[in-house]
Structure formats: C-alpha cells, structure tokens
Amino acid sequence: MAKRDYYEVLEVTKTATVEEIKKAYRKKAIQYHPDKNPGDKEAEEKFKEAAEAYDVLSNPDKRARYDQFGHAGMSGAAGNGGPFGGFSGGMSMDDIFSMFGDIFGGHGGGGFGGFGGFGGGGQQTQRRFRGSDLRVKVKLNLQEISTGVEKKFKLKKYLTCTHCHGSGAEGGDSETCPTCKGSGTVIRNQQTILGTMQTRTTCQTCGGEGKIIKNKCKECSGEGIVYGEEVVSVNIPAGVAEGMQLSMSGKGNAGKHNGVPGDLLILVEEEQDPNLIRDENDLIYNLLLSFPTAALGGTVEIPTIDSKVKVKIESGTQPGKVLRLRGKGLPSVNGYGTGDLLVNISIYVPEALNKEEKSALEKMEASENFKPNTSIKEKIFKKFKSLFD
C-alpha cells in the first residue's frame, strides 16, 4: 500500500510549525485512539499512520530529509542506522506509547479522558479539588445603580477547616502516597487484542491527590472543609444592569484539602422605578402635560434618580416632543460617559368637564386656530414615525 503524504495525514501545511504539528497529531491520536475504537482495524492503522507522520515531522532532521526525498528518504535509509534511522516500516502500539507517551500525559483524570488542558506546559498531575461556585442575587434600585454600592452577603458555604488548616489531617500529618509516590497517577499495562497498552490512570489509593491522611481531622472528618457562614462584602460598580453577572474569584465554596475555592457569582436584578424607565444608560420619563400648560408654556418638575429638576416648557409644545436632559441618566458600567434623561411629552385631557369648561372648549373647538394645520400634522407625523425607525 502506497504511503500517504505525512502532511496530508496530519492535515497540516508544509510550513506548519512544530506546535501545529504536535497539535494536529494529538487530535488524530485522540480520534483514532484504540481506547475509543476497540477492535477497529482501520482506526488502528490510522493511529499508527499518524504516529509515523508525527515521528518524522516533529524531528527537524527527519522532516528535512522527508521534505527533500519523500518516503524514499525515510524507509530506504532505515537499515543504515544513520540520521534517517529508527523507522523500519511501521511502528507497534508499544513503540507509539513509549515514544509519544508524553503527548498523552499531563493529566491525572481517568486515562485518556482528560486531554483538555494539554499544551499548558505544566505537568501538574496531582488532583486538586475545586470548591463549587456560589450564586446570589442582588436587587438594586436606580439610585444604587447610578452611584454603585457596597452590598454585604451572609453566605452559607463551605469554609476551610480551621482546626487542620484545610489539610484534613489531625496534627497535619499526611504522607506521600506509597502507591503512586505522590504523582497522583499510575501507569497501567493492559493486555488488549492490540497488544500491551499503557494507560495513565488516577491512583486509587489516594484518589489522585498524591498523599494520604493517616489520622483524619475530627472537626471536618478529613475533608478539610466545614459548613459555616461567612459575610462577604461586594462592591457593585455603577451602571450595572438587569441580568449582568458579577463574579468574585475565590469567594465561593472552599475546596477540599486546600483545593481551589469556587467563585461567588452575583446576579444583578433591577428594581422597577415608579417614574423612570431605563433604556441602557438613558432614562425615560413620560411627562403628562396639562393642555393649558402645553399651549401657554410654563415650568414643570421632572423627577430624576435622586431629586427633581425644573424644566421650562415652551408655549405651543406638542405631544410626542422629547426633551433631553444631558447627563441625567446612568453612568456606563465601563466608566465611559453618562446617559441622558429623556422627557417624552404627552398631553393630559380631563376626563370630565363642568359646564363652564365645556362651553369654553366648545368655543375653542370652533376656532380654526385649534385645528391642526397641514404643517403641524406633518411635523407630528414625522416625530411619530421616528419612534419606529
């Protein structure tokens, strides 16, 4: 069977970097790994093919030779034991695992299940527990949102055991696990139809932690954490909005055995303001103007977040007009600028009239001046239409 091009096998370009090649190989190795494809001959071939391609392309000398001479440059020289050596037509599974074992390693979690973090560099194999996140809700009014606010939460949560300082051991005497010698993982040789396979699995003796506790702490039964209460204060920045989630790293549940604590997640809820509607950083107020004030002009009071402002109404003010009070909205949460307070004008029409009012209005109704002319109709229509743009 003719050999496929190594670049093609790994699906990388001819100019791929070593990192890219490593990454591509890892992907193939996971895809065709015999653990995932038990008894699948084709997958096994692909697995071997990828390993062979990786062996050549990850080695600068072999790669240069291959680039120049192709497969002939590889196998033809195999017997010489020279710079092209080490590859005499196919590799066994054992070869692959012993040569490239490191590419599968680095993670304690259940054999090949835990490839996720590869490439991070660190070879941390011991398992560290992580505490779970805690979620709380906080309801804020506009005043609090406009200035930012400090809120205190009394949290029921797991805390590090003070008696054993989180170790879980009475007197702090934990010892290195004799099974895995502290690594947290053990290499297991498994007999399969494909031959002997090496897999790295979590050490059963210590559960992957690399150490074992001789005398469990009496306060926490060896867990290193106890259930308790803690008051956490959170500075909520100005400008937050409904549905935003703030997170305080490390303020969630403590992790077992001095593990990594979870986070505290704070979900923001907005209290409905009786007067003001929020539109991002702007606020909207609907001003119900009396008909005489709209016609004659005057001064009205508009509620803001924390007080009131007086606003002048021009004579002949039309419904649908929007007044913009600059900077009277909410600050943006990222600190850039402040929104406006938009005052939408509507006209109040009395629901009942006395005799005098009625006759006065009947006179007005007869007057041509009280009928909207074409230009005002157009103006108001334009305004109205803009609401739907």
Does residue 219 touch Zn ion according to CB under 5 A? yes
Q: Which is nearer to Zn ion, 53 or 180 (CB)?
A: 180
CA atoms within 13 A on the CB side of 276: 25
Q: How many residues bind Zn ion (CB under 5 A)?
A: 12
DSSP 222: T
Q: Which is nearer to Zn ion, 184 or 339 (CB)?
A: 184
E-only strand ranges, 128-238: 134-140, 149-160, 174-176, 185-192, 195-202, 211-213, 225-236
Does residue 206 touch Zn ion according to CB under 5 A? yes
DSSP 353: -
Minimum CB–partner distance for residue 123 and Zn ion (Å): 16
Alpha-carbon dihedral sign for residues 326, 304, 387, 335: positive
Does residue 213 touch Zn ion according to CB under 5 A? no
Residue 202 pairs with which residues in a beta bridge?
185
Minimum CB–partner distance for residue 341 and Zn ion (Å): 56
- Cβ contact 325:309 at 8 Å: yes
Minimum CB–partner distance for residue 54 and Zn ion (Å): 31
Q: Which is nearer to Zn ion, 205 or 215 (CB)?
A: 205
Minimum CB–partner distance for residue 77 and Zn ion (Å): 45
φ and ψ of 48, to 5 deg = -70, -40
Q: How far apart are CA 318 and CA 294, in angstroms?
A: 7
Residue type at position 179: T
Q: How far apart are CA 252 and CA 230, in angstroms?
A: 10
Q: Which residues of 143-179 are buried (b: 16+ CB within 10 A; e: fewer)?
A: ebbbeebeeebebebbbbbeebebbbbbeeebeebee
Which of 205, 290, 332, 344 touches Zn ion (CB under 5 A)? 205
Minimum CB–partner distance for residue 197 and Zn ion (Å): 21
Does residue 203 touch Zn ion according to CB under 5 A? yes
Q: Which is nearer to Zn ion, 230 or 273 (CB)?
A: 230
Q: Which is nearer to Zn ion, 182 or 303 (CB)?
A: 182
Which region, judged by CB under 5 A, interacts with Zn ion, from 89-97, 200-208, 253-261, 291-299? 200-208
Minimum CB–partner distance for residue 172 and Zn ion (Å): 10
Q: Which is nearer to Zn ion, 55 or 223 (CB)?
A: 223
Does residue 287 touch Zn ion according to CB under 5 A? no
H/E element, 49: helix 41-57
Does residue 9 touch Zn ion according to CB under 5 A? no
Axis crossing angle, helix 18-31 with helix 41-57, rounded to the nearest 10 = 170
Q: Which is nearer to Zn ion, 222 or 239 (CB)?
A: 222
Minimum CB–partner distance for residue 105 and Zn ion (Å): 16
- Cβ contact 337:239 at 8 Å: no
Q: What is the DSSP string of 226-238?
A: EEEEEEEEEEEPT
Minimum CB–partner distance for residue 254 and Zn ion (Å): 11
Does residue 93 touch Zn ion according to CB under 5 A? no
Does residue 215 touch Zn ion according to CB under 5 A? no
Q: How far apart are CA 185 and CA 180, in angstroms?
A: 6
Q: Which is nearer to Zn ion, 222 or 339 (CB)?
A: 222
Does residue 217 touch Zn ion according to CB under 5 A? yes
Q: Which is nearer to Zn ion, 93 or 220 (CB)?
A: 220
Task: Tell me the per-residue interface mask from 152 to 191 with Zn ion, x by CB under 5 A, - otherwise.
Answer: ---------x-xx------------x-xx-----------
Cα 266-259-124 angle, rounded to 5 deg: 120
End-to-end CA distance of the chain: 67
Minimum CB–partner distance for residue 98 and Zn ion (Å): 23
Q: How far apart are CA 318 and CA 193, in angstroms?
A: 87
Does residue 254 touch Zn ion according to CB under 5 A? no
Q: Which is nearer to Zn ion, 20 or 219 (CB)?
A: 219
Minimum CB–partner distance for residue 106 and Zn ion (Å): 17
Does residue 268 touch Zn ion according to CB under 5 A? no
User: What is the contact surface with Zn ion in residues (CB under 5 A)?
Assistant: 161, 163-164, 177, 179-180, 203, 205-206, 217, 219-220
